[in-house]
Amino acid sequence: MIKNFLKSTPLIMLVFSAVVLTAPIWLDPIGASYPDLLQKFAIFGIFAVGYNLLFGLTGYLSFGHATFLGVGSYTAVWSFKLLSMNIIPAMILAIIVSGIFALIIGFFSLRRSGIYFSILTLAFAQMAYSLAYSVLTPITNGETGLQLAQQDPRILDSLAGVVVKDGLPSPNIFGLAIPRELSFNLFGLDVNIGAGYLGFYVAAIMLIIVFYISLKIFRSAFGLKLLAIKSNQTRMKYTGFNTRPYLLTAFVISGMYAGLAGGLLASIDPLAGAERMQWTASGEVVLMTILGGAGTLIGPLLGATIIKYLENIFSALNPTELHSIFSFMPEGLQNIMVTIVAPFVGEGWHLTLGLLFMIIVIFLPGGVMEGLRHLGNLVKRLFGFNKTESSIESISSVSNTSPEGEAK
């Protein structure tokens, strides 16, 4: 009974929401509580959670998901320019347009599986990137990136009588400008949300919503069928399932997640550039998902957070700071250490990421989540809970909620 309760959807969502919404507080001790970084955690979390619905459930490794991130950003900026600075229509449009792109790219890419599928998605992504960078300059503003201008039409805003006098308008959510400070009185408590935190909370609420959808998919018959496709697609066909529409649906949903993430990126900083669609960005979401644990619910989110946090730390370091870090050593040793470490920080932080990724894949193929599970089992053994968790539990909840499962 207790086990069932711990796995119930409302409880998971309650805990998840509480953890996400209080992130500015509990991330403070590790210096990760400033809005810029928190926003990245939430947005790339959405991206990775969506990517996991494709890769984690069906095993289809897409190398082109940054396309949908970029499409989402461009769509959102165009929505700001043409319709309104309100982010709600921008996000809805970002989801719809990236969904259409995913439908087209998925339709063709899913004619193949395995490595050929990956290559096809990569090819589509590179095409999209080149188009955005050069050919479609009137739509994407090429190298410079798509930006807002004061004289943009903003049809809905001008209908509502909003006039922008000086400078550029900022994205808002029903009139609340995203970058601004917010103070209000909630049940007698003075709540003060600092500049930029509103952006985080918008992204965090989106994350909670899409996490809920992802949780439902994982636990549904639809999710189980996707897992079965990953396990044995031939069997699925002979069992009477037309696997193509299942895969395409998963592909489109994950494309929409990426579109939402792109729309949110544009909502917080209203510009969109082609570099957002580059293959490195597609690779990054693969890393996040595998690092955290593909096919697990929370793993991809952890992966996104870890990578964005480490990026933030390592890419900010420079040789001068390294010298101060190693200042406890004698001077000669200090210089040697700095020379060794320097290529791994700043611009070269991807080297660190590469190392970390290698270590994870070699020693913990299941990602950080597998590590946590091992740790959990170790703790259980140390404290004498002798009913060892069966390591063969599948990730879907089906077998966990069976009557015999409770009795154990």
Partner 1 sequence: MSIILDITGVNKTFGGLHALSDVNLKIEEGETHAIIGPNGAGKSTLLNCCIGRLIPDNGSVTFNGQDMIGMQAHDINHAGMVRIFQTPEIFPDLSLLENVMIPALAKRDGTFKFNPFKSMAKEKAIKEEAMATLADFELDKYHAQIANSISRGDKRRLELAMGIIQHPKLLLLDEPTAGMARHDTNRTIDLLNSERMCQMTKVIIEHDMHVVFSLADRISVLVRGHIITTGTPEEIKNDPKVKEAYLGESEDE
Given the rule CB under 8 A, which residues bind partner 1? 9, 213, 216-217, 219-225, 227-228, 230-232, 234-243, 245-246, 249, 390, 392-394, 396-399, 401-402, 404-405
Closer CB to partner 1, 130 or 232, in the complex: 232
Query: Among candidates 311, 293, 317, 322, which has minimal Cα distance to 350?
Result: 311
Residue 111 CB, nearest distance to partner 1 (Å)? 15
Helix extents (H) in 232-348? 233-238, 243-268, 279-292, 299-314, 319-325, 331-341
Residue 219 CB, nearest distance to partner 1 (Å)? 5
Closer CB to partner 1, 347 or 404, in the complex: 404
Partners of 184 in the β-ladder: 191
Residue 209 CB, nearest distance to partner 1 (Å)? 13
Compute the distance between CA of residue 274 and CA of residue 19 in angstroms, rounded to an integer: 33
Residue 253 CB, nearest distance to partner 1 (Å)? 8
φ and ψ of 298, to 5 deg: -90, -25
Q: Cβ–Cβ contacts within 10 Å for residue 45, how many? A: 28
Residue 400 CB, nearest distance to partner 1 (Å)? 8
Closer CB to partner 1, 222 or 309, in the complex: 222
Compute the distance between CA of residue 382 and CA of residue 359 in angstroms, rounded to an integer: 26
Residue 226 CB, nearest distance to partner 1 (Å)? 10
Closer CB to partner 1, 235 or 381, in the complex: 235
Residue 232 CB, nearest distance to partner 1 (Å)? 5
Closer CB to partner 1, 339 or 390, in the complex: 390
Q: Which amino acid is present at 196? A: G
Q: Cβ–Cβ contacts within 10 Å for residue 190, how many? A: 8
Query: Among candidates 233, 249, 260, 278, which has minimal Cα distance to 66?
Result: 278
State the residue for tokens 């599948």. Answer: 394
How are beta strands 182-186 and 172-173 bridged, if at all? unpaired
Compute the distance between CA of residue 369 and CA of residue 278 in angstroms, rounded to an integer: 28
- Both tokens of residue 119? 């290559």
Closer CB to partner 1, 144 or 220, in the complex: 220
Residue 364 CB, nearest distance to partner 1 (Å)? 18
Check if the beta carbon of residue 248 is closer than 8 Å to that of residue 107. Answer: yes
Closer CB to partner 1, 62 or 396, in the complex: 396
Go through the chain and tell me how many residues it has: 408
State the residue for tokens 């994205």. Answer: 171
Closer CB to partner 1, 234 or 324, in the complex: 234
Check if the beta carbon of residue 44 is closer than 8 Å to that of residue 308. Answer: yes
